[in-house]
Amino acid sequence: MNDESVATIPLRLLTIVAESILEDRLVREILSLGASGYTATRAHGQGSRETRASQIGGNVRIEVVLDEPLERELLARLSRDYFPSYAVIAWSHSVEVVRGAKYRRSV
């Protein structure tokens, strides 16, 4: 297939790694803010925080393809409601998505 025949849309990929106990709450917020979906997987590793609100259950990695305004909203919510009290980290980067129109919020 020729690269020119594949149409992509520039979007953002937001990755959140958090305590598993937060998964349902984070997913509800992500969807309520307008994301069309997410991918969640179990995660493990070591970080700077030695104390946790929950020692059992491990971590979850949540990935969301979204537009930049929604990314800003989610990062603001994480900064305000999660970072101060929980072991949570988030990062994002630009991605080119095939069939990306389905990830844009209708405003």
Return the CATH number at 20. Answer: 3.30.70.120
Quote the pLDDT of residue 62.
98
- In the chain, how many domains are there? 1
| pLDDT digits 0-9 by tens, 33-86 | 999 999 999 998 776 755 455 556 789 999 999 999 999 999 999 999 999 999
pLDDT value of residue 95: 96
pLDDT for 46 equals 72
DSSP H helices in the chain: 23-32, 68-81
Do the domain assignments include residue 23?
Answer: yes
Contact 105, 12 (CB under 8 A): no
- pLDDT over 60 (residue 2): no
**107 within some domain:** no
Q: What pLDDT is stored for residue 86 in this prediction?
A: 92
Q: Which residues lie below 8 Å from residue 52, measured CB to CB, with a gap of 6+?
A: 19, 86, 87
* Four-residue CA torsion sign, 64, 68, 71, 75: positive
Q: Which 3 state secondary structure label does DSSP give 98? A: strand
**Distance separating alpha carbons of residues 84 and 102, to the nearest angstrom:** 33
